[in-house]
Amino acid sequence: MKTLKKRSEFLTVAKGGRTARRAFVLQAAKTRSDGAPRMGYTVTKKTGNSVERSRIKRRLRAAVASLDLDIAQTGADYVLVGRRAALSQPFEDLLKDLKGSVKNAFKPRKSRPIRSKPNSLANSKPPHDKVQAD
């Protein structure tokens, strides 16, 4: 699978949908009408030192390399944002999470019912009238 290299490509994908998992966050966006899907990898500096960040990226690249490319949509770009849990998660679980995330990246989300906030007027106390003593 081709990889994303330019910052502008990463920023375009960041505007798309997200799927969070324990070991990574998958960002996906349909950026082109056709063409092979592309993948980008990133790990923030908050995650650890350079050795840990590189190991996370290598594990994610290996998981993507062992994926079946038929589940990724044509013309789509994906970005994997690695988390520290990618180091300790078993590879089979990482692969299963990645496969499910890529497969469902463009499925519409079920809308959750919006919980109404309690009425602030109903819960507030009535203003106290000061009674002046004569």
Which CATH number does the domain housing residue 14 bear? 3.30.230.10
Taking the model in full, what pTM does it have? 0.76
129 within a domain of the structure (yes/no):
no
Asked if residue 131 is part of any domain, the answer here is: no
Asked, for residue 125, whether it belongs to a domain, the answer is no
In a domain, 128, yes or no: no
∠ CA(107), CA(81), CA(5), 5° rounding?
Answer: 100
How confident is the model over 30-64, as pLDDT tens digits?
988 888 899 999 999 999 999 999 999 999 999 99
Task: Tell me, letter by letter, the H, E, C secondary structure of the chain.
Answer: CEECCCHHHHHHHHCCEEEECCCEEEEEEECCCCCCCEEEEECCCCCCCHHHHHHHHHHHHHHHHCCCHHHCCCCEEEEEEECCHHHHCCHHHHHHHHHHHHHCCCCCCCCCCCCCCCCHHHHCCCCCCCCCCC
Is residue 114 a part of any domain in this protein? no
Closest listed residue to residue 37, CA positions, set 69, 60, 15: 69
Is 112 within the bounds of a domain? no
Closest CA to 60 of 71, 70, 52, 49: 52
Look up the domain containing 14 and give its range. Answer: 2-106
CB atoms under 10 Å from CB of 63, counted, come to 21
- pLDDT, block means (10 residues), the chain with 134 residues: 91 90 93 89 94 95 88 90 94 93 82 67 60 62
Is position 50 within any domain?
A: yes
Count how many domains the chain has: 1
Asked whether residue 118 is domain-assigned, the answer is no
